[in-house]
Amino acid sequence: MGPSKEAKTMSQITVRNIPDEHFEALKRIAAENKRSAEEEVLRAIGRLVHRRTGQGFGSMLKAKYAGLIPLGFRFERSREVSNPLSFK
């Protein structure tokens, strides 16, 4: 018998009246990313929620490894602006 983890419940939403040009763009973007339109929407919602709740990549790492990292350890991101790479 496997571990007894409770199953997560998932909510559903129906979105109506999506402008055709938005839906076509969504399908094109999903195809470029080798994903379904549904998965592309889920990822977009996830990015929006993470931005609004402060759950960025650093926060997720901190939460994931909280028990392994000594207390008081600070995750700090460089605030320096970097120049984009140039391939000229």
Q: Is residue 51 part of a domain?
A: yes
Q: How far apart are CA 28 and CA 22, in angstroms?
A: 10
Structure tokens belonging to residue 58: 């650093």
Residue of 48 and 60 predicted with greater confidence = 48
3-state secondary structure of 51: helix
Q: Is residue 10 part of a domain?
A: no
What's the domain range around 24?
Answer: 20-64
Q: Is residue 58 part of a domain?
A: yes
Over range 79-88, report the average pLDDT.
Answer: 78
Q: Is residue 6 part of a domain?
A: no
Q: Could you read off the pLDDT of 11-35 as tens digits, one per residue?
A: 999 999 999 999 999 999 999 999 9
> Based on the structure, what is the number of domains in the chain?
1
Give me the DSSP letters along 7-18. PPP---------
Q: Is residue 34 part of a domain?
A: yes
For position 2, what pLDDT does the model report? Answer: 52
